[in-house]
Amino acid sequence: MESLADEPWDAVICGTGLQQSLLALALSRSKKRILHIDPNGYYGEHEAAFSLQEVEGWAAAHAGNGETGSEEGSAGSSLFRRASIWKHEEADALGLSFSRAYSLALAPQIIHSRAKLLEQLVSSRAFRQIEFLAVGSFFIYDDAAAEDTASRLTRIPSTREDIFSTQSIPARSKRSLMKFLKFVVDYNSEENTSVWEGQARQPLADFLTSEFKLDETLRKYILALTLALDGTIGVEDGLATIHRHLTSMGLFGPGFCAVYPKWGGLSEVAQVACRAGAVGGGIYMLGTSMHIEDDGSDGLVSLKLSNEVTIRASTVISSQEQPSPDGQAINRLVAVVNSRLENLFEVVVEGSPIPAVAVVAFPPGCASTSINPVYAYVHSSDTGECPTGQSVIYLATSATSDAPQILERALESLLRAAAPPGETPVTLYKVQYVQSLSRREATSTARGGATLFSFPSPSLNLLFDDGCLDAVKAAWKVVTKDEVPEDEYMVFEDREGVDGDSDGVYD
């Protein structure tokens, strides 16, 4: 351990969340001395994926209300609070398997096919170690349909062929919807920008009514595709999201517009990025925290590690752990169910892969959701997150005093509507918690000639937010000190011995 202190480090990265891990990937060919530590005993930080035993330990550590913040570099985080575990009293008899048969993601996000993250994973060659799975249909829950029937779940049409073939939309409404979709695909053109830019901050729902005369049902469809948790997404953000959805459709294969990394979502991406950092010479130490001892000298700061070793570094990168006083928060519910729920994973376009993820939206005003929408990601066992014959359901809604009960009711409604004929799915295991946001800007400050850089906490968006990649590149510039041209950022050749003609990116 004393050898850690022999020479100064170009960067000490604290935390193995997605942003810190992508930074390690970006620096993996830089020949910089990188020490990557994490106070936790696992990879992934806020995007981690846990076995049942691990999630129970995590929930015990985050069961409080989060009033007290964590010390710098410690394992605690007040961004998560009110965590609780529930287990069916007959869970084992009903099929709950051993702990490591599960990999429950803290903050699952689906990734549009045109996301910048995927481009960077390809250009950096990290994609070869990640298996991506197709996200299938988007459904909307209708509590006005017949009780306890699958008719309460309607698949949302989002392509031209979908719209023409569906029987649930009248012909006149189809024409209005087609007009809107055509507009969105080219929404940034000079002609179309003039239509919406004056209303950029207005609610998208109002814009859909005034400009395209879409009825309530079609407005619900469009808003559901944005996956906006507050139900009041603005015109500019809403159009951008729908544009990404439509233009991503079919990019990697027919019938799907988004992907999900197998074995735990973004946690898997973080681990692959850390692996690249280790191959590039980075040193990794889990279960190790730090605090700044003094400002040091000669452009270096002194850090005391939890193993009592003192090291010096020119750059220290960490993440913000304190919730913003006026920041957004969401309630999450993760449920393990003893059913395949195969009705949600049907192939609806010839030649498309069997989807591993389905999306169900409960719109505002639905009996299960009160004033805010609820979204459910239903994951099949193909994700590697549960055993064959089971599913994992991730539900989320904006944090309110009654959000836990709302999520429970939404889960019950979903299971009744999605149950295969003759089957009654049973929830075996549940995890509930609240997740908050830190300040949204990265911070960079000078201390004793060194630089302290701090990432904001991950976005609460259910869609991967490419905006978080800007902070990663900013941190990379701090460490590399403009020694590498910007156009070489995250662009690597295959390492020696890697077959450049390997199978395609998306399996």
Tell me the CATH number at 218.
Answer: 1.10.405.10
Cβ–Cβ under 8 Å, residues 394 and 108: yes
- Alpha carbon distance 88, 95 (integer Å): 11
Specify the pLDDT at position 434: 97
What per-residue confidence (pLDDT) applies to 152?
Answer: 87
How many helices (H) and strands (E) in the chain? 13, 21
Whether 125 is in a domain gets the answer no
Tens of pLDDT, residue by residue over 1-12, are 558 888 999 999
Indicate the residue among 248, 272, 304 that finishes a domain: 248
- Residue 117 covered by a domain: no
Rounded CA-CA distance 21/466 in Å is: 15
Total of domains in the chain: 3
**422 and 348 assigned to the same domain:** yes
Lowest mean pLDDT among 367-381, 414-428, 470-484: 367-381
Please determine, for residue 487, whether its predicted confidence score (pLDDT) is greater than 70: yes
Residue 109 inside a domain? The answer is no
Average pLDDT over residues 416-427: 94
Whether residue 347 lies inside any domain: the answer is yes
Residue with token string 């189809």 = 174
Query: Does residue 495 belong to any structural domain of this protein?
Result: no
CATH number where 398 lies:
3.30.519
Q: How far apart are CA 12 and CA 14, in angstroms?
A: 6
Write the pLDDT tens digit of every residue in 132-167.
999 999 999 988 765 555 578 999 987 777 887 787
pLDDT value at residue 327: 79
Q: Looking at the chain, how many residues does it have?
A: 507
In a shared domain, residues 432 and 443 = no
Q: Which of 18-27, 319-328, 399-408 has the lowest mean pLDDT?
A: 319-328
Q: How far is CA 386 from the centre of its chain?
A: 18
User: Domain for residue 339, yes or no?
Assistant: yes
State the Cα angle at 26 between 356 and 308, rounded to 5°.
100
Whether the per-residue pLDDT at 224 is higher than 80: the answer is yes
Instruction: Kindly report the number of other CB atoms within 10 A of residue 51's CB atom.
Output: 16
Task: Say yes or no: 225 and 371 in one domain.
Answer: no
Same domain assignment for residues 209 and 167: yes
User: Residue 493 domain-assigned?
Assistant: no
Q: Is the pLDDT of residue 277 over 60?
A: yes
Looking at the fold, whether 318 and 450 belong to one and the same domain comes out as yes
- Hunting for tokens 């389905």 — which residue is that? 358
Average pLDDT, the chain: 91
pLDDT, one tens digit per residue, over 389-413 is: 999 999 999 999 999 999 999 999 9
Give the model's pLDDT for residue 77.
Answer: 59
For 427-444, how does the pLDDT look when each residue is reduced to its tens digit (9 = 90+)?
999 999 999 999 999 999
Per cent of the chain over pLDDT 70 is 93
Do 243 and 294 lie in a common domain? no
Is there a single domain that holds both residue 346 and residue 422? yes
Buried b (16+ CB within 10 A) or exposed e, 105-115: bbbbbbbbbbb
**Cross-strand partners of 374:** 362
Mean pLDDT of the 278-296 span: 91
Q: Give the mean model confidence (pLDDT) for residues 313-328.
A: 91
Shared-domain flag, residues 364 and 455: no
Handedness of CA 43, 46, 47, 51 (dihedral sign): positive
Mean pLDDT of 458-462: 94
Note the pLDDT of residue 24: 98
| CATH number reported for the structural domain that contains residue 464 in this entry | 3.50.50.60
Domain termination site, one of 404, 436, 468: 436
Phi and psi torsions of 461, nearest 5°:
-60, 145
Which of the four pLDDT bands, split at 50, 70 and 90, describes residue 505?
very low
Q: Tell which wins on pLDDT, 69 or 360.
A: 360
Residue 122 has pLDDT above 50, yes or no: yes
Query: Residue 499: what pLDDT?
Result: 57
Can you give the pLDDT at residue 296?
Answer: 63
**Residue 272 structural domain:** 2-51+263-322+439-488
In this predicted structure, what is the pLDDT of residue 145?
A: 64
Checking if the pLDDT of 37 tops 60, the result is yes
pLDDT of residue 157: 87
CB 332 within 8 A of CB 47: no
Residues 317 and 443 in one domain: yes
Helix (H) or strand (E) holding 160: helix 160-165
Section 260-288 average pLDDT: 97
Residue 368 pLDDT: 63
| Residue type for position 413 | S
At residue 294, the pLDDT reads 77
| DSSP letters for 212-266 | H---HHHHHHHHHHHT-TTS--BHHHHHHHHHHHHHHTTSSSTT-SEEEETTTTH
- Assign 497 a pLDDT band (cuts: 50, 70, 90): low
State yes or no: pLDDT of 52 exceeds 50. Answer: yes
Q: Decide: helix, strand or coil at residue 386.
A: coil
445 and 309 within one domain: yes
Residue 223 lies in a domain: yes
Model pLDDT for residues 229-253, shown as the tens digit of each residue: 987 899 999 999 999 999 999 999 9
Q: Which residue has the tokens 């830089």?
A: 30
**Both 309 and 214 in a single domain?**
no
Same domain, 221 and 269: no
